[in-house]
Structure 1
Amino acid sequence: MLLPDNKSATSIPPPPYSPTAAPGAGVPSMVPSSLPGQNHVHIRRDNTPIHGSFLIDVSLPGGSGKNLSLESHNGLIDANVWVKGEAKRCELEAVSHNGVVRLGVADRENPVPLNVLAKTHNGTVHALIPVDFEGPLTTVNRYGAVGLEPSLQEHAHLISEEGGVRKYWVGGDYDEDEARDWLGDACHAETTNGTVTVGYWVSAEKEEQQEAKEEAKCGMWRFICP
């Protein structure tokens, strides 16, 4: 499915936060009711940002290539993704040649293996992965900082680091032989000029909950809000 430049993807924030079990439990996030199931969505824009929320149903027939591909040649990308259905793997990518990239993948109901790419040449990259993610995580940053959010850092084991490329194994025990032919979860986050941050999806839900609380507080006590 290809969306031309004059069509905007549905823009929906992450759902309100609800208590989530510890990493590895894989408690699914509630999908916004207004999101239709889609598959093989391809959006490419020049000089225009991409904002959107997507429900990728890997069981839907038709189409080819990545299950979700977002590309901007000169603009930011900000996307939240929910995945459902059954397939060997779900391919998700968000690539900007000059702009911030934020790609959040919600916690899954079914353990569909994910291959996630979040990349830009100039700008910050912020990737959020499901709490039950298990597999290799690669971060690439030649001229900037790389950070893992605390909750993810507890479950990420640094395997190698060289020339701005860091390779981690997230969740479970690292087995070099098994990793060589790995077809499960994988995530690659990269920028040339900027910062790279990777965390769990639950952090997005907590942020949304905090924003909702602040908005409610301002609604009742407007005079104390900036």
Structure 2
Amino acid sequence: MLKVMIIEDEPLIALNLEKLLEKKGFEVTGHASNWEEAHTLFHTTKPHIVLSDIKLENDESGIDIVKQLKKMNDFCVIYLTSYGDDAMIEKALSTNPAAYITKPFKEIDLNAALKLVSSKIKNKNINPDFYYNKETRALFYKNAQIILTKQESDLFHICYLSKGFFVSMANVEYAIWGEEHVSDSTRRGLIHRLRKKLHDTIFEYSSGLGCKVDKIA
């Protein structure tokens, strides 16, 4: 089940969105109305989708909040907006939104946006059981943290930063061991341990290509 977090400072709108989302089979992880609430909720619930109003109370911007959250991990964003000026749209585009919904919104518009986003996530073949926080380098499987050694964490992180592409063993070795000489058994042992901890699903190794992290948001 895909998880959705709502960023909206009007409680009635947030509750209405929650009901509509749950009706469509999504899990709503909660509501946030400012940066502090959004940061805490995002960190603890790890949503796949963020549904955010652009203009919040106290002159806060949903776009700025989304930008900060994307530093922690990637996700799909749908913006709610009653603003149509070019400058605002241009700023929102910098966060690569999946869809926009104009307020006051209609249920049919929300459904269309959700179908679009769900399709994008499925087409990426993302495993929703895994979540990685780039900021803290914490990796989770089904909401339980996977405990990694420093070298395992370094290996995963360098591959995550090039997600979807192989990272050569030369680059991996330099990032982890620097100029130090490393034996084949040491390299193989590190790769084997990480693959085992990740259930051999989102981490791939090829002797000719290197290592790759894929199928994770």
**TM-score, with length taken from structure 1:** 0.24
More strand by share: 1
Work out which of the two has the higher radius of gyration on C-alpha atoms and give 1 or 2.
Answer: 2
**TM-score, with length taken from structure 2:** 0.25
More helix by share: 2
